[in-house]
Structure 1
Amino acid sequence: MRIKLYENRDFMRRTQIKLMQEEVHIWCIRWKEVIPVFEYYQLMLDQKEKEKMEEYYFYEDRMRYVAGKVITKLVLIQYLEEEEISFLSHKFGKPYYKSISGKQDIEFNISHSGEMILVAFSRDAKIGVDIQEIIDCSEYLEIARSFFEPEEVKNIEESNSKELFFQYWSAKEAYLKAIGVGLLKGMSFFSVKDGVIKENGRKKDHWKLIPIKVQGYAAYIALKEKEKSGK
């Protein structure tokens, strides 16, 4: 599986980019640098999305939401060679679109934090992505003790590192989003220590956790390659 990273300059000329088999495309966009694009393409939001947008009181929160939706729709339209894409959502909120006859489905996932929007796409893998701005957080040890697996908590306590806390948090959210359960099931039933996903002490076969380097942020993609037909 090849991982390709795209940034703002690629977003502005995305028509030259195609999503091929056995590729994961990660779009890492600084939304503040292209605000006019997102303000213009707000027209792409459906009624429910517009209502959700209006629930955000602060402008930056609203624009992060809009930017995530717009990036995803514009890129999917290009990949699928369609004129319009509408989103649905699974039980716990993971977005998807209705299958298009004659075209292979593309799985995608969205995350945003601070000035960054992260969106991942694949034709061949189940995916989840998460990004967390590494901010001052004096309570990070208490949060880890409440939500993380004991070995992860021990590592954070020994390192006394808020960066490690955010790395674990991002990796965990990416996996939860990939399996489509969100935070309702909690974070302590599995671990991501050393980049390996384990549930009840057993390694999750065929799953990968891949860090994404973004200065000032912790970011991960969790992926599981789909079985090839005939196997």
Structure 2
Amino acid sequence: MRVLLVEDDRMIGESIEEALRGENYAVDWVRDGHSAELAFSTQSYDLMLLDLGLPKKNGLDVLHHYRKQGGDIPVLVITARDAKASRIEGLDAGADDYLIKPFDIDELMARIRAVLRRHRGHIHSIITHAGVTMNLATHEVTLDGLIVHLSAREFSVLRALLDSGSNVVSKMQLEDKIYGWGDEVESNAIDVYIHHLRKKLGADFIKNVRGVGYKLTAEK
């Protein structure tokens, strides 16, 4: 899952970035409104965390512009503006949730999971497919009830495949999901993660669609 973090405060941004990476999100962090617009116009994201008091272009204008351009990913506003009118304005502008600073990081992570669930039509933080269960809150993966130990990147690849349902996901799409700016991407990294997942979850769990990408096998 790839997140665009738009926050000009260095200490807050570093704290959020560290927490997101600890939860296996890939993170691109920008510090002003113009950089945010450049980022979402050139890169695909699963979520935007958006401060409102930004240099160069304020967050509400960024949000208006993003929705006007047809942007449909969840946007969670993180701001010190706690007035009722500001909350209403942010939600009416297209925000999916609105969190007042200072906030607890654990609450932020829970709200992120909630808006992503709603966006994908999930009720719970648990995804299941063909005997495999992924708990997004605890980062626990089980196969037929037994815990499977995955690395952070393996978890991220599996989550991207589970989120895709029956759709094929290309290697480039998987790379975009799990790597942020500045992360070193080895040419065969996705193939290696897929190989490891097959060893842990079953050789037939992930299907290779030649020349296109990967998909999960259909449930029986």
TM-score bracket for this pair, using the shorter chain length: 0.3 to 0.5
TM-score by length of 2: 0.32
More strand by share: 1
TM-score by length of 1: 0.31
